[in-house]
């Protein structure tokens, strides 16, 4: 690479080539990899951030996890080790300098296999956040660039992509954020226990939340679950369930011909007034007004309908 070449020039070129739309979220032939591009700042959009890495190569974005704020740009990456409810907005983008990012889903099975093959790594069980922001090292940038280059050689993806992904995971396990990844790859760390609670809540979000039942699933005491759940997600189990309910309600209102009261009941609310009140508090407008506003913007509507993936980067 020439000395005057910007460090992310090749990665930016590859993302723009394979994600050409101005408001795009494109899957790729590389399993678990997605590309993102937007040519203008966006409004804050709630979403589910699944376990993944998000690499930013151009522009800036702000992500809120509860009351924690992560603002990141070119050369940063965000890592989530469990399913998290977040709100994200692109804050710096233009047609000349679009926001560009790529995301890679984390495979905990592959992390565990790597841990077994590595020299023994120290693992503590101290509380840690489910999300962290880091700077992209030269080694990670090199591996990411080589992975993206495979998009130009699709015949090589099946053989080489798993090897480069393994290299990326290895570098992450050895990085400053390796502790959280080592915990999530182990069977009975507190982070893994919280992950079990999160999975249970997501699968039973329409039911009344009984903290004793969730704690039993996680194999924790209720008090320990509350403490570690808040450390990981920046919210209580009840707040987490509420966010899941409201995001699903928004998706249903957008994609189905249904009234707000019936949708509220579908996602677990018994009181239409409580549903409307909490919906307005989260999204800034009552259901009918919010959905009408979204439908006036086709890219935004697509984002809400597919919030689980679009919110990731």
Confidence of residue 96 (pLDDT cuts 50, 70, 90): very high
Confidence of residue 304 (pLDDT cuts 50, 70, 90): very low
- Give the Cα-Cα-Cα angle 97, 70, 57 (nearest 5 degrees): 30
Question: Which CATH superfamily groups domain 9-184?
Answer: Regulatory protein AraC (2.60.120.280)
Across residues 5-20, what is the average pLDDT?
A: 89
Q: What is d(CA 252, CA 304) in angstroms, rounded to the nearest whole number?
A: 10
The proportion of the chain whose per-residue pLDDT surpasses 90, expressed as a percent, equals 61
30-65 pLDDT, tens digit each: 999 999 999 999 888 888 888 999 999 999 999 999
CB 244 within 8 A of CB 85: yes
Residue 305's pLDDT is 45
Residue 307's pLDDT is 43
Across residues 75-80, what is the average pLDDT?
A: 92
| Lowest-confidence pick of 110-114, 246-250, 294-298 | 294-298
CB 275 within 8 A of CB 286: no
Residue 272's pLDDT is 94
Residue 199 has pLDDT above 80, yes or no: yes
Residue 126's pLDDT is 65
- Kindly give, in sequence order, each residue whose CB lies less than 8 Å from that of residue 4, ignoring residues fewer than 6 positions away: none
- Across the chain, mean pLDDT equals 87
The SS3 assignment for 227 reads helix
Residue 313's pLDDT is 66
Confidence of residue 308 (pLDDT cuts 50, 70, 90): very low
Residue 233's pLDDT is 92
Residue 179's pLDDT is 77
Structure-model confidence comparison of residues 23 and 149, the more confident one:
149
The pTM for the full model equals 0.81
201-228 pLDDT, tens digit each: 999 999 999 999 999 999 999 999 999 9
Confidence of residue 74 (pLDDT cuts 50, 70, 90): very high
Give the CATH class of 243-310: mainly alpha
- Summarize the chain as % helix, strand, coil (round to 5): 50, 20, 30
Structure-model confidence comparison of residues 186 and 105, the more confident one:
105
Query: Given CA atoms 287, 289, 290, 296 in this order, what sign does their dihedral have?
Result: positive
The proportion of the chain whose per-residue pLDDT surpasses 70, expressed as a percent, equals 89
Structure-model confidence comparison of residues 4 and 105, the more confident one:
105
Residue 287 has pLDDT above 90, yes or no: yes
Give the start-to-end residue ranges of the domains of the chain: 9-184, 187-235, 243-310
Residue 237 has pLDDT above 90, yes or no: yes
CB 86 within 8 A of CB 65: yes
Strand partners, 48: 85
Q: What is d(CA 30, CA 172) in angstroms, rounded to the nearest whole number?
A: 19
39 exposure class (CB count in 10 Å sphere: 0-12, 13-18, 19+): middle
Structure-model confidence comparison of residues 296 and 50, the more confident one:
50
Residue 2 has pLDDT above 70, yes or no: no
């Amino acid at each position: 690479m020439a000395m005057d070449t910007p460090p992310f020039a090749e990665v930016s070129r590859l993302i723009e080539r394979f994600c050409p739309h101005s408001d795009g979220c494109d899957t790729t032939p590389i399993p678990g990899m997605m590309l993102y591009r937007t040519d203008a700042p966006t409004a804050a959009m709630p979403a589910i951030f699944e376990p993944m890495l998000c690499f930013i190569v151009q522009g800036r974005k702000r992500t809120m996890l509860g009351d924690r704020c992560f603002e990141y740009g070119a050369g940063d990456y965000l890592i989530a080790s469990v399913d998290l409810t977040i709100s994200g907005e692109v804050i710096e983008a233009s047609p000349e300098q679009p926001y560009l990012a790529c995301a890679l889903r984390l495979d905990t099975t592959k992390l565990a296999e790597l841990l077994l093959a590595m020299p023994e790594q120290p693992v503590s069980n101290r509380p840690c956040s489910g999300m962290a922001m880091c700077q992209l090292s030269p080694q990670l940038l090199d591996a990411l660039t080589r992975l993206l280059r495979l998009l130009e050689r699709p015949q090589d993806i099946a053989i080489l992509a798993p090897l480069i992904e393994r290299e990326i995971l290895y570098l992450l396990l050895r990085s400053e954020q390796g502790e959280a990844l080592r915990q999530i790859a182990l069977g009975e760390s507190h982070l893994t226990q919280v992950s079990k609670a999160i999975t249970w809540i997501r699968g039973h979000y329409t039911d009344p939340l009984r903290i004793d039942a969730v704690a039993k699933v996680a194999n924790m005491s209720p008090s320990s679950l509350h403490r570690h759940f808040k450390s990981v997600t920046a919210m209580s189990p009840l707040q987490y369930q509420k966010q899941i309910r409201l995001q699903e309600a928004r998706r249903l209102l957008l994609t189905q011909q249904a009234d707000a009261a019936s949708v509220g009941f579908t996602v677990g609310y018994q009181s239409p007034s409580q549903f409307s009140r909490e919906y307005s508090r989260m999204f800034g407008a009552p259901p009918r007004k919010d959905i009408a506003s979204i439908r006036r913007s086709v890219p935004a509507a697509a984002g809400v309908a597919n919030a689980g993936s679009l919110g990731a980067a």
